[in-house]
Amino acid sequence: MNDNDCLFCRIVAGEIPAETVHVTERTVAFRDINAQAPLHVLVVPKDHYADAAALAAGDPAASAELVTTAAAVAAAEGYDDYRLVLNTGAGAGQTVFHTHLHVLAGRPLTWPPG
């Protein structure tokens, strides 16, 4: 399932280049072009779901695999400490409406974020 107008669907399909760092049966992880930390990778489900809530309802296994993939990416990059961010909705900062998990590491991350 995909949306032909969706940037991340097009990256998953290989139509738009990205620096892919990890691929699983359900996920693709690639470097964010607007990195906010030395490690800033986006983990997306291969299937199109608009946000984290839609993914959790539609494919709970893929939802869990996002986190498993994020942990594998952080470990492969040499980080034990990292932040995971899911923005759901424009008011929370979501700008691409295809579920994506941000993996951030490599600098002090303050709280609260944003």
Q: Where in the sequence numbering do the catalytic residues fall?
A: 100
Q: How far is CA 33 from CA 42, 68, 75, in A?
A: 10, 22, 21
Question: Can you give the C-alpha Rg of the chain in angstroms?
Answer: 13
Q: CA 100 to CA 72: how far, in whole Å?
A: 16
Amino acid at position 84, single letter: L
The DSSP secondary structure of 55-69, one letter per residue, reads HHHH-HHHHHHHHHH
